[in-house]
Every structure is written in structure tokens, then in C-alpha cells.
Chains A and B, each alone.
Chain A
Amino acid sequence: SSLFVYPTKIIIKTCGTTQLLKSIRPLIHLARNLGLTLRACRYSRGSFIFPKAQPFPYTSFKDEVIVVEESLPKSLCYRKASVMTPSNNPSRAWHVFTASADVESDEHVVVVEVCMTELDRVNARSFFKRKGDEKNNSDSAGKEMTRLSGIDNINANAYICDFAFDPCGYSMNGVDGDRYSTIHVTPEDGFSYASFECGLSLYDNGHEDISEVLSRAIDVFRPSDVSIATTYGGEDYNHEVTKRVERVLAKKLDLKCRSRLMDEFPGSGTVVYQSFTPRRK
């Protein structure tokens, strides 16, 4: 799980059975004390592997939306909830709720969220602590996992803050100027999962092609199932980027795009949700 705090933005991403929505009211209150008013809210998640293990309200997206709406001020009047469901794999839906005070988005950052399941077993081994690691702390074991897995090659410019969990599991945050990235790994066979997320701008000179970054991140895990949710703030949706991601993942990782869905959210931009599986699957 990760938390990012910018001067006017907070991103919090939590796994397991955490009660993420309980953070909304206190964070709004803390911001209020600093003279900051909520402008926009976005809540998103994939379909859980173990939905019955979740506590209320996470057992139903409708209930989650009710809780979020009750936590928000009425000034965020442009609201929309959407479940983007691939026709070929209804169990892998992407759930999004947004609320905004303005119909136009002021955010020109592209957020890419990658969810990967059924990780390659050999690659997943990098995220188990090895014999002798118990002598080291979780920071040094995390650094070893970062190096062994190749995560340090995804963005060579990023400073990586990593952590190894006991007996397995891994989290890292990457810091590169004003751009963040984050990876979380649950490597156990049967419910293995990894996520990669980064925020970037399509207009930053010198920043790498998003499809190349995604290709390197996904190659660390070689999963059997990949979904990518890309959120374009403002009017920045770029269909060429969507197509380029599909071309690069096909060429470099032999992943075929099985589904591509798009939806627009007032004041919060456009979300594109792509699903991939290996071509030979």
C-alpha cells in the first residue's frame, strides 16, 4: 500500500481488507485546517480476487459509492460512477467513481494503473525472503528484491524506496522529480498479484514513451492476465497512446489486447481500460 502527499493532492492506495473510504472525511478536515478546499475526488479499484472476504461497504460497488458520496461536500456536484466490464472477462471489471466541483478538469497528468495476476512462478520467487534474509532488515531485503527482479531498470532515474514483507511480498515507491511510481506484489501461487502505477505527462520533454515503461514493468512479472486503466486528465485523451501501448506489448511481450473500453467523467477526464492475455493463451 502507498500514500503520496503533494501540496494540493493526496493519493492513497491500499490492498487487503483495508477501510480506505474512512480516510475521506478526516483528510478533508485536515486540508480545511490548512485553508484548502476539496476540488475533486476519484475512487477506483479492480474486481477483488476474494470479494466475500471484504468488509462492508467493499462487498458492493454501489455501497462504496454511497459511502463516498456521503463523505463529500455538495459542492462536488459533477458526479459519476461506472463499472467498465470486459465482455470477454466479466470477472475483471474496473470500478470508477468521480466527483468534481468543476465540469472541466485542471489536472493534466496521465495516471496509468496496471493490475497483473497469475505471475510467472520463477519471477515471483524474487519476492520471497530468502534464507538468511531474516538477519537483514526489511529495507535491505527490499533492495535485494528490487535489484534481483529488475524493478530498478523500469525507470533508472527514479529514487526507489522499497520494503520486503515477511515471509513474502514487496512494495516500493519511486520518486522522480514530481513524478511518482509504485509497485506492490503478492507473490503466493494461487492468488499471485502485482500492480504498477505511475503518473506522468504526455507533454513532458525528456520523459520516456509510456508504452516502453509499461513493457519493462510488465516484463518483471510475466503475468497471464494484465489490465491497464489509463486516466487522462482534462482534454488530453490521446488515442495514439492507447494504440501504441497495444503495439508495443504485442511486439515485446507477445500480449494481445482482448478488450478496450473507454468512459468519460465530468471534471475528471477520460478512462481507458485495456485487458491483455498472452497471444498463445
Chain B
Amino acid sequence: MAVSGFEGFEKRLELRFFDDDKPITKNPMGLRLIDFESLDQVLNEVQCTVVSAVANRSFDAYVLSE
């Protein structure tokens, strides 16, 4: 095994939320309303950046580089 190389094994975090006082149907976009700049700042803390993105009616997906 190499002394040092790129670490492929990922760390994975999943956070699930619920709406405080109204059904999610009143805010169907939920977390998808977080603006890109705010997400980018969070990712900066994590030490990665968005390199590609795609979205459909259900969710947003970002490919990140670290």
C-alpha cells in the first residue's frame, strides 16, 4: 500500500427535517430554497466546491470536488 494517496472512502452525513408549524405542502420547496451562496459557504467550511449541478422537480444534485 502506498504511504499516502488520495482517500477514496467517503464520510456521509444525512440530515432530515420537519416543518415547525405548517404542512410541508405550504412550502413544498423546503430546503431547496437555501440560496446557492449559503450552500457554497457551508461547502467552503467542509473544504469542497460545486463543480456541476442538476435539478429536477424532486431535488437538487451537486457534484463536488474536494
Contact = CB atoms under 8 A, between A and B. Distances in A.
Contacts of A165: 65
B17 A12 contact: no
B18 A8 contact: yes
Interface string B31-42: 111100011011
A6 interface: yes
Contact of B61 (A45, A54, A173, A191): A173
Interface in B35-66: 38-39, 41-43, 45-48, 50-56, 58-66
A10 B12 contact: no
B8 A193 contact: yes
Nearest to B64: A1
Contacts of A36: 17-20, 30-31
A39 B18 CA distance: 6
Contacts of B62: 2-5, 173
Contact of A1 (B1, B27, B41, B66): B66
A190 interface: yes
B16 A20 contact: no
B6 A188 contact: yes
A111 B13 CA distance: 12
Interface in A171-214: 171-173, 175, 177-178, 180, 182, 184-186, 188, 190-195, 197
Interface residues of A, number: 82
A238 B14 CA distance: 22
Nearest to A34: B33
Contacts of A115: 9
Interface string A1-34: 1111111111111111111111110111011001
Contact of A9 (B17, B20, B27, B50): B17
Contact of A190 (B1, B58, B60): B1
B1 A41 contact: no
Contacts of A30: 31, 34, 38, 42
Given A44-B11, A173-B61, A178-B59, 5 more contacts: A9-B17, A13-B13, A14-B10, A41-B13, A191-B2
Interface of A: 1-24, 26-28, 30-31, 34-50, 53-54, 58, 107, 111, 113, 115, 117, 138-139, 142, 159, 161-163, 165, 169, 171-173, 175, 177-178, 180, 182, 184-186, 188, 190-195, 197
